[in-house]
């Protein structure tokens, strides 16, 4: 894109980055942090490393360099706009209940662009015996909160409803139990029918994971703790609702917590990259091939090397006081294979799955379903290929031309990787067939877009928290090294931003120690 090309062209004109000690040994040299990876985690780390956070320039005491292979920023957060359509290639919104994303949007001057889910569609549908039905009102992933909605839902049989309502009488697990799978937890507390009809499809829409392996402690810590603190999910959810600000029991309150930008999600990383470049952060488009740590604990970052007119501006080796690795864990594992094989192996052990998004636009008259929800989740037991469908143009304005609707359908995931890999010529007709049968779609789509994210979603398998703790201990053995990204403590946009900010804080502590040792006496 032109924007990123211009940013990269500007920053490459700056002086080379390999600098040794300053000639005046009584003057502390400028400290240098290299960030590998230009996704949201890397950009957040760069912002947090600026002295004063968002309110001051880098000044003369520190240099921040961000290296991104692709030359574009934001990672999987990408937006396409054409002919009146606005299509998000991955995440289309973020939760506002955490401060990181909202705070960043405000700092970037984008507050006026924030929009929430249309109040008229703040609910989800679930496919049940081939028909769309509302998810029971007040049911939040694992926690029921409304007696009437459970008693009347057609999604569960009478026995299934009674079993779900009996959750409050199920004995809590032992306090010493560290982790269990989402499936085991849901079966134990809610029963098999509620798990298969509600929990499994809702979870698939978030993590694209195998629920038999998905870690409760890592993926659902709130619900995992709720069982112990309140005695049951029912009691814990009632307590949460009473403590919430405002009328949290209002229909669709959960979906009212999702926000996006009128111009699309990619506006956030684009604006942030521009902001960072203006404040002195240097961007380099290149591939990092290796890392090594010097005896004085400084780092060497080896680059593949640019070809062409810009090659002279980018040294083959960059030295840094600290390195933030904001890349997927398999990439981090590859770069650390010589520096620390044990850490490399631990990073490589984090599994990944992926999905494919098929975005289809239709004339509104060609869809008989009212599309009166934010989207649809599909239980595995329904025998369909699609995991979920998001009714994008119903959720947010400006996603489709007047008289048209945009539907994003998700396929693949950890339990069906084969479907995600089907070539476009076969996949699009397959998805169209299911949309015709489920939503009453007819006619030909006005727009078709397929976005593949194979191997892009980290899988938090049982024991993930302990595994991450081991990784953190190994990282602590390398002064000036920090990790960031979705692989460790959360896949949502706020959590990814928080990981970048935490990595920057770790790097800052290294810089502070080094500065104190360098100060003249």
Q: What is the pLDDT of residue 374?
A: 96
Q: What is the pLDDT of residue 17?
A: 36
Q: pLDDT tens, 141-171?
A: 999 999 999 999 999 999 999 999 999 999 9
User: HSE of 60 in the Cβ direction (CA atoms, 13 Å)?
Assistant: 3
Can you read off the two tokens belonging to residue 214?
A: 């998905």
Q: What is the pLDDT of residue 369?
A: 98
Q: pLDDT confidence of 305, banded at 50, 70, 90?
A: confident
User: What is the overall mean pLDDT for the chain?
Assistant: 89
Q: What is the pLDDT of residue 300?
A: 96
Q: pLDDT tens, 72-88?
A: 999 999 999 999 999 99
Q: What is the pLDDT of residue 62?
A: 82
Q: pLDDT tens, 32-61?
A: 999 999 999 999 999 999 876 543 344 446
Instruction: Report the alpha-carbon distance of residue 123 to residue 202 in Å, rounded.
Output: 12
pTM over 0.85: yes
- Please return the burial class of 209, using the count of CB atoms within 10 Å of its CB with bins 0-12, 13-18 and 19+: buried
Which residues, listed in sequence order, are joined to residue 41 by a DSSP beta bridge?
Answer: none
Handedness of CA 208, 183, 152, 225 (dihedral sign): negative
Question: Closest Cα partner for 405 from 446, 438, 460?
Answer: 446
Q: pLDDT tens, 333-347?
A: 999 999 999 999 999
Q: pLDDT confidence of 177, banded at 50, 70, 90?
A: confident
Which residues, listed in sequence order, are joined to residue 116 by a DSSP beta bridge?
Answer: 259
Q: pLDDT confidence of 372, banded at 50, 70, 90?
A: very high
Instruction: Report the alpha-carbon distance of residue 388 to residue 127 in Å, rounded.
Output: 9
For residues 116-136, average pLDDT: 96
Give the DSSP letter of residue 70.
S
For residues 294-300, average pLDDT: 94
Which residues, listed in sequence order, are joined to residue 323 by a DSSP beta bridge?
Answer: 34, 481
Q: pLDDT tens, 346-355?
A: 999 999 999 9
For residues 19-37, average pLDDT: 64
Q: Determine the angle formed by the axes of helices 182-190 and 200-207, rounding to 10 degrees.
A: 150
Q: What is the pLDDT of residue 359?
A: 98
**Does residue 478 surpass a pLDDT of 80?**
yes
The domains located in the chain, with CATH, are: 2-75+265-350+462-518 (3.50.50.60), 93-120+352-458 (3.90.660.20), 138-250 (1.10.3110.10)
For residues 89-107, average pLDDT: 95
Instruction: Report the alpha-carbon distance of residue 518 to residue 521 in Å, rounded.
Output: 9
% pLDDT > 90, the chain:
82
Q: Please give the full DSSP string across 388-450, using - where no structure is assigned.
A: EEE-HHHHSTTSS-TTEEEEEEEEE-TT-HHHHTS-HHHHHHHHHHHHHHHH-B-S--SEEEE
Q: pLDDT tens, 197-254?
A: 999 999 998 999 999 999 999 999 999 999 999 999 999 999 998 887 544 444 444 5
Q: What is the pLDDT of residue 84?
A: 97
Contacts 24+ apart (CB under 8 A), 292-299: 292/338, 292/339, 293/339, 293/478, 293/480, 293/481, 294/319, 297/479, 297/480, 297/514, 298/480, 299/34, 299/323, 299/480, 299/481
CA angle at residue 270 from 268 to 276, to 5 degrees? 100
Q: What is the pLDDT of residue 510?
A: 83
Q: What is the pLDDT of residue 1?
A: 38
């Amino acid at each position: 894109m032109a924007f990123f090309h211009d940013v990269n062209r500007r920053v490459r004109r700056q002086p080379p980055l390999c600098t040794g000690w300053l000639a005046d040994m009584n003057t502390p040299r400028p400290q240098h942090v290299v960030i590998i990876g230009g996704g949201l985690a890397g950009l957040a780390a760069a912002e947090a490393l600026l002295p004063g956070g968002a309110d001051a320039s880098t000044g003369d005491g520190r240099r921040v360099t961000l290296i991104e292979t692709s030359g574009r920023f934001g990672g999987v957060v990408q937006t396409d706009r054409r002919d009146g359509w606005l299509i998000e290639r991955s995440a289309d919104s973020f939760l506002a209940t955490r401060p990181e994303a909202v705070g960043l949007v405000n700092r970037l001057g984008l507050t006026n662009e924030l929009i929430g889910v249309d109040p008229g569609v703040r609910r989800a549908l679930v496919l049940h015996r081939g028909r769309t039905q509302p998810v029971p009102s007040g049911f939040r992933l694992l926690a029921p909160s409304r007696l009437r909605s459970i008693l009347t839902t057609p999604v569960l049989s009478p026995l299934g409803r009674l079993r779900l309502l009996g959750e409050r009488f199920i004995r809590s697990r032992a306090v010493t139990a560290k982790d269990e799978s989402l499936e085991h937890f849901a079966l134990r507390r809610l029963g098999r029918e509620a798990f298969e009809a509600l929990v499994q499809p809702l979870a698939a829409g978030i993590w694209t994971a195998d629920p038999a392996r998905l870690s409760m402690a890592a993926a659902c810590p709130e619900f995992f703790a709720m069982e112990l603190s309140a005695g049951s999910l029912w009691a814990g959810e009632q307590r949460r609702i009473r403590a919430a600000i405002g009328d949290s029991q209002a229909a669709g309150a959960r979906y009212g917590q999702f926000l996006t930008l009128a111009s699309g999600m990619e506006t956030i990383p684009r604006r942030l990259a521009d902001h960072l470049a203006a404040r002195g952060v240097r961007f380099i488009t290149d591939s990092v091939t290796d890392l090594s740590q010097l005896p004085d604990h400084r780092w060497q970052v080896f680059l593949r090397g640019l070809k062409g007119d810009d090659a002279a501006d980018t040294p083959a080796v960059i030295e840094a006081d600290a390195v933030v690795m904001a890349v997927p864990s398999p990439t981090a594992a590859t770069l650390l294979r010589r520096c620390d094989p044990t850490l490399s192996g631990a990073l490589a052990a984090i599994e990944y799955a992926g999905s494919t998004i098929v975005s289809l636009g239709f004339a509104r008259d060609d869809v008989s379903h009212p599309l009166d929800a934010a989207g649809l989740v599909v239980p595995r037991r329904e025998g369909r290929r699609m995991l979920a469908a998001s009714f994008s143009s119903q959720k947010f304005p400006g996603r489709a031309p007047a008289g048209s609707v945009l539907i994003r359908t998700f396929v693949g995931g950890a339990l069906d990787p084969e479907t995600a890999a089907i070539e476009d010529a076969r996949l699009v007709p397959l998805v169209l067939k299911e949309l015709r049968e489920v939503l009453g779609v007819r006619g030909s789509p006005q727009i078709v877009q397929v976005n593949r994210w194979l191997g892009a979603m980290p899988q938090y398998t049982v024991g993930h928290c302990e595994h991450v703790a081991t990784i953190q201990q190994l990282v602590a053995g390398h002064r000036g090294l920090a990790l960031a990204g979705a692989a460790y403590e959360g896949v949502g946009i706020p959590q990814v931003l928080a990981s970048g900010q935490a990595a920057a804080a770790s790097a800052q502590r290294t810089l502070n120690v080094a500065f104190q040792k360098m100060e003249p006496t």
